[in-house]
Chain A
Amino acid sequence: MNTKYNSYAPVTLALPSKGALAQPTLNFLQDCGLAVWKPNPRQYTGNIPAVEHLDVMFQRVKDVVYKVADGSAQLGITGLDVVREYADENVMVIHNDLNYGHCQLVVAVPEAWVDVENIADLADVALDIREEQHRDLRIATTYTTSSRRFLHENGIHHFSLVKADGAIEAAPTLGYADAVIDLTQTGTTLRENRLKMLEDGTIITSQACLIANQQALEQHPQLMRVVKILLEYIDGALNGKRYYQLSANAAAESQEQIIALLSKYHVTADAHGVSVVPASQDGNRYTLTLSVLKRDMLAVVEYIRQLGGNQITVQPVRFVFLDESPTYSQLKTKLQPAQPDPTPDR
């Protein structure tokens, strides 16, 4: 495949232009320090000033996948559900846990089908309909490929998919389908339409993901350089959300004594960014700062109190950078033979 990309051209990142992922994607990138600049709201292009040579194009979520697949864009952010449905072998998921845009693709049937609780029941109903009504079980969905695959894998073979692009939940009431396969976040819309999810009927658990054209990644070190920068920002910001930074004052004989006490407790021993600096001229009081996982915050506060610490303040952390972005390390492994580490721009 010709990826349409050459090493001298800017890298293009395709982002959702409308729908449930559009604004959350811009918010996410901003939180990561990758704010998108758009010359005017009606334009479908822009860039990310924080990363040199990175242009942005806005597309429908489905088209983000197509643009990355055909190489018009080398990178994209869209939903995992859309990738599973429309991507081909040229599309590679680089980051599958951007932690927003969560939803599920589920099988739902009318609430009144009290005899149907699971997929095995639905398979049985499909046979009933075939034998009694001489037709297939009709299922309305936008996601025909994922649905077909799931239904066959779960022993439902006599079905026909009714392709629909909107108001799918209404299909059983309107009479053109018996059941639906649709995206849901909380299940409220399904319930409002008198539908219920099947207990084992989740086809895809989805969220936003970062994708790339694999061939372009393999062939263009310039693209890998941009990916490395993006992933450093993204992993750094996502990691940062898991941490709090604590500051406290404590009396001690020396900095070493405080550090030794912190290293005795496994949570503070593993903490990031530990620093201990004198807080008073006489050298008896020190300010200690450390970043700990959010879930450990209260335990650490209690431990610092036990050490005689006070004036404890807690702040959110914006970024936590590890030795290297973990996602970038995984990407290099996936793209074996190993990519040479890109030379940093100077």
Chain B
Amino acid sequence: MAAKSIMMAAFNSPIIHRLQVVVTKTQQTFIYESDELTALVSTLHQHMKYYGYQNVQLPALADVEIFRGRAGDQVIANLVTVSHFGRQLALRPEFTALAAHRYTKLYGDQRKTVRWQFNGSVFRETAHQANQQMSLGAELIGLGVSLADAEIVSMAVLGLSKALDMTNLRIEIGHIGLIRNCLSQFQLDKRTERFLLGHLSELAYDKLSPDELINHFEVMMTAGQDKASPEQSSPRPDDIAQEARHMLDIMLDATRSGATMGGRTRENVVRRMLQKRQRLAEIGRFKEAVHYLYQLTHISDQPNEAFAEIRRLVSEDNSAAQQDLQEWQSIIELVIAYGVDEGHISIDPGLLRDWNYYTGIVFNIDSSNGIRLGGGGRYDELIEFVGGNEHVPAVGFGYYVDAIMECKEPSSSPKIDTSILFLTWDEHVEPVLIVQWSKMLRDAGMNVFIQRDSITSDVPNHNHLHLTVDGQIRYQQQSYTFNDLTALIEGIAAQ
């Protein structure tokens, strides 16, 4: 009865429910493929080590605020959270926020340049299940020059193309800082800007036309208000002041009759009401911004051609955007100088990744058949956001190891690791003999895998030892006693 109660309590718990983790390929791999995974991770680690990146261990479970603070909406929506004695925790959805947090803990207000690399499982909720995937990445914190961006982009690309021999990669590079600075010329309210950036991918990849996006904005802004035409609903300052008085009257009346305010004040409500009306007044500028961004995000070409088109669209008076453009070009030149094939690079101003997380360049690396293998970008505000120095720049990337494993050519057969010896035995062999033989072989530096069942046909003969009931090992049609151990080891080594 007690056991049943416990079982039901566990079942009833939303926490347990939400933690039914679905493991992806890297967690399901067969033992020999797991060696391939280890080799892949080790190769990429070594590759990054050449650039001076140190291994760091970051926690799998951390305070939810570390991830929610500045993570993109998509990351927040897909967080796998648990409640632990009233504290909200989350399984890491990625490493960057944890790295920023670690940096702040270690260096406080100082600015120090660090190069860190890490790997492990990351967790995201997809289709209402926690999904576990393998990630491997690096962060370069404290260096804000183009060289740093170029180092990260090229290290990420060359890790796949040179260290793992993956060919025909496609690298898309965008610049969220440039987009933001171009948008600033339209002087939009910050929520209108957020709305626009939130829908920019749909605009860039033709999931929404400019007119549909404008219509969407108008519907949202006019919902619950008089359904006047946008032109008519653009309020004049006098109207706004009159409306403010009217709203205050309503609010005061409501308060007198005991209305609840939740956690907001009357001033909060009135201010937002007015801001909402103000946004409607911006509709003309919003439309201009949408059409401008539509043009800008529909440029996608090789660097020289793309930059010529972008330059045409970026106002000469917008010095911040001009500076971003110059920086972007400089990064591409350096990436090419690092040895990344220019023909594989595509400049894509519509590439945003998580726009409220990144502040400068953003990039994706895809396989020739369009599978996303990794990506990253610059995030200069994150360290400040997690409590560190406001002037600490940072750039980083992550590999999607599951996707890389899927795209990578399978290793040549046989898959069996030849250093493993499979030791089987006859039915009546004394267990102590099995232990003695395996110990002696292991002491001699052999990897011994004792296996009661018969071995599979893909194990080569020279990896198979069989212990007979008389205590002798049969190997390659010869029998060996304890006294013949040296001969046996030499025989194995000769294979």
Which residues of A are at the interface with B, using a C-beta cutoff of 8 A?
Answer: 62, 66, 69-70, 88, 109-115, 117-118, 120-121, 124-125, 127-129, 132-133, 135, 138, 144-145, 149, 152-153, 155, 157-158, 160, 172-173, 175, 177-179, 193-195, 199-200
Given A125-B272, A128-B272, A110 and B260 contact (CB-CB distance below 8 Å): yes
Given contacts A173-B260, A194-B258, are A112 and B272 in contact (CB under 8 A)? no
Tell whether, in the assembled complex, residue A66 and residue B254 are in contact, meaning their CB atoms are under 8 Å apart: no
Give how many B residues have a beta carbon under 8 Å from the other chain's beta carbons: 39
- The residues in B between 1 and 60 inclusive whose CB is less than 8 angstroms from any CB of A are 7-8, 11-12, 14, 17-18
Q: Which residues of B contact A128 (CB under 8 A)?
A: 268, 272
Q: Contacts A113-B269, A127-B191; is A120 near B260 (CB within 8 Å)? A: no
Q: Which of B76, B128, B198, B269 has a CB less than 8 Å from the CB of A114? A: B269
12 contacts between A and B (CB under 8 A): A112-B255, A114-B250, A114-B269, A114-B273, A117-B223, A127-B194, A129-B263, A155-B198, A173-B260, A178-B262, A179-B262, A199-B224
Residue of B nearest to A175 (CB): B263
Quick one: which of A88, A112, A135, A175 contacts B254, CB cutoff 8 A?
A112
Q: Does B73 contact A (CB under 8 A)?
A: yes
Tell me, yes or no, whether B287 is within 8 Å of chain A by CB. no
A-B complex: 10 closest residue pairs judged by Cβ atoms: A117-B224, A178-B262, A152-B77, A115-B273, A157-B76, A112-B259, A173-B260, A172-B262, A172-B260, A115-B272
CB distance from B302 to the nearest CB of A (A): 35
Contact with A along B260-279 (1 / 0, CB 8 A): 11111010111011001000
In the bound complex, what is the Cα–Cα distance between A179 and B260 (angstroms)?
10
Selected from B128, B260, B261, B264, the residue in CB contact (under 8 A) with A193 is B260
State in angstroms the CA–CA spacing of A178 and B225 once bound together: 23
Contact B73–A114 (Cβ < 8 Å): no
The answer to whether A110 touches B262 (Cβ under 8 A) is yes
What separation, in Å, do the CA atoms of A61 and B250 have in the docked complex? 41
Q: Which residue of A lies closest to B269 (CB)?
A: A115
B485 at the A interface (CB under 8 A)? no
Verify if B89 is at the interface (C-beta below 8 Å from A).
Answer: no
Q: Does B353 contact A (CB under 8 A)?
A: no
B: residues with CB less than 8 A from A are: 7-8, 11-12, 14, 17-18, 68, 73, 76-77, 88, 128, 191, 194, 198, 220, 223-225, 247, 250-251, 254-255, 258-264, 266, 268-270, 272-273, 276
A67 and chain B: residue at smallest CB distance: B8
In the complex, what residues of A have CB within 8 A of residue B254's CB?
Answer: 111-112, 194
How long is the Cα–Cα vector from A172 to B84 in the complex, in angstroms?
25
Across-interface contacts of B273 in A (CB, < 8 A): 114-115
Which of A113, A138, A173, A199 touches B223 (beta carbons < 8 Å)? A199
Question: In the bound complex, how far is the Cα of B128 from the Cα of A195, in angstroms?
Answer: 30
CB-CB nearest in chain A for B7: A70
B-side contacts of A66, CB under 8 Å: 8, 11-12
User: In the complex the two chains form, what is the Cα distance from A193 to B260 in whole Å?
Assistant: 8
Q: A157-B76, A158-B68 are in contact. Are A110 and B220 (CB under 8 A)?
A: no
Say whether chain A's binding surface is mostly helix, strand, loop, or mixed: mixed
Q: Which residue of chain A is the closest to B259 with respect to CB atoms?
A: A112
**Chain A neighbourhood of B14, CB < 8 A:** 144-145
Q: Which A residues lie within 8 Å of B224 (CB)? A: 117-118, 121, 199
State the Cβ distance, B228 to closest chain A Cβ, in Å.
15
CA distance A114 to B8 in the complex (A): 44
Q: CA–CA, A137 to B88, complex, Å?
A: 15
B225 CB → nearest A CB, Å = 8
User: Given the complex of chains A and B, what is the CA–CA distance between A194 and B264 in angstroms?
Assistant: 15
Contacting residue for A195 out of B76, B260, B276, CB 8 A: B260
Q: Residues of A contacting B250 with CB < 8 Å?
A: 114
Query: Given the complex, which residues of A lie within 8 Å of B261, measured CB to CB?
Result: 110, 112-113, 172
In the assembly, what is the distance between CA of A88 and CA of B19, in Å?
A: 13
**A153 to B191, alpha carbons, bound, how many Å?**
18
Output the nearest chain A residue to B8 by Cβ-Cβ distance: A66
Chain B contacts of A132 at CB under 8 A?
268
B68 touches A138 (CB 8 A): no
- CB neighbours of A160 from chain B (8 A): 88
Q: Are A113 and B262 in contact, CB atoms less than 8 angstroms apart?
A: yes
- Chain A hits for B8, CB < 8 A: 66, 70
Closest B residue to A129 by CB, please name it. Answer: B263
Q: In the complex the two chains form, what is the Cα distance from A16 to B264 in whole Å?
A: 39
Task: Please state if A125 and B264 are interface contacts (CB–CB under 8 Å).
Answer: yes
* Docked pose: A145 CA to B76 CA in angstroms: 15
Q: How far is the CB of A223 from chain B (nearest CB, A)?
A: 22
B262 touches A109 (CB 8 A): yes
Cα distance, A19 to B266, chains bound together (Å): 38
Given contacts A66-B12, A145-B17, 12 further A-B contacts (CB under 8 A): A69-B11, A112-B259, A117-B224, A118-B224, A120-B223, A121-B276, A127-B191, A145-B18, A152-B76, A158-B76, A172-B260, A177-B262
The complex places the Cα of A129 from the Cα of B264 at a distance, in Å, of 8
Question: Is A110 touching B191 in the complex (CB atoms < 8 A)?
Answer: no
- Which of chain B's residues has its CB closest to A174's CB? B260
Q: A129: which B residues are within 8 A, CB to CB?
A: 263-264
Knowing A144-B14, A157-B73, A199-B224, say if A115 contacts B276 (CB, 8 Å): yes
Across-interface contacts of B263 in A (CB, < 8 A): 129, 133, 135, 138, 175, 178
With a cutoff of 8 Å between Cβ atoms, the chain B residues found around residue A149 in the complex are 128
The chain B residue sitting closest to A179, CB to CB, is B262
Chain A residues in 8 Å Cβ range of B251:
112, 114
**Could you tell me if A178 and B128 are in contact, using CB atoms closer than 8 angstroms?**
no
In the complex, chain B residues whose CB is within 8 Å of the CB of A62: 12
Min CB–CB distance A114 → chain B (angstroms): 6
Are the C-beta atoms of A118 and B259 separated by less than 8 Å? Answer: no
CB distance from B366 to the nearest CB of A (A): 27
Bound complex: CA of A121 vs CA of B269, how far in Å?
11
Across the interface, which residues of A come within 8 angstroms of B262, CB to CB?
109-110, 113, 172, 177-179
Complex contact A178–B264 (CB within 8 A):
yes
Contact partners of B194 in chain A: CB under 8 A:
127
Contacts of B198 in A (CB 8 A): 155
> With A and B bound together, what is the CA distance between A177 and B263 in angstroms?
7
- Chain B hits for A144, CB < 8 A: 14
> Chain B residues with Cβ under 8 A from A121's Cβ?
223-224, 276
Which residue of chain B is the closest to A137 with respect to CB atoms? B263
Question: Which of the listed residues B12, B270, B272 has the most CB atoms from chain A within 10 Å of its own CB?
Answer: B272
Residue of chain A at shortest CB distance from B274: A115
B270 to chain A, nearest CB (A): 8
Contacts of B77 in A (CB 8 A): 152-153, 157
Q: Which residues of chain A are near B88, meaning CB under 8 Å?
A: 160
Q: How far is the CB of A92 from chain B (nearest CB, A)?
A: 16
In the complex, the answer to whether A112 meets B260 with C-beta atoms within 8 Å is yes
B269 touches A112 (CB 8 A): yes
Q: How far is the CA of A162 from the CA of B472 in the complex (A)?
A: 70
* Closest-CB distance, B26 to chain A (whole angstroms): 24
Residues of the A chain whose Cβ atoms lie less than 8 Å from the Cβ of B264: 110, 113, 125, 129, 178
- Report the separation of the CA atoms of residues A171 and B270 in the bound assembly, to the nearest whole angstrom: 23
Q: Which residue of B lies closest to A111 (CB)?
A: B259
* CA A193 to CA B262, docked complex, whole Å: 12
Q: How far is the CB of B13 from chain A (nearest CB, A)?
A: 11
> Chain A's nearest CB lies how many Å from the CB of B387?
13
How far apart sit A152 and B81, CA to CA, in the bound complex (Å)? 14
Q: Are A114 and B191 in contact (CB under 8 A)?
A: no
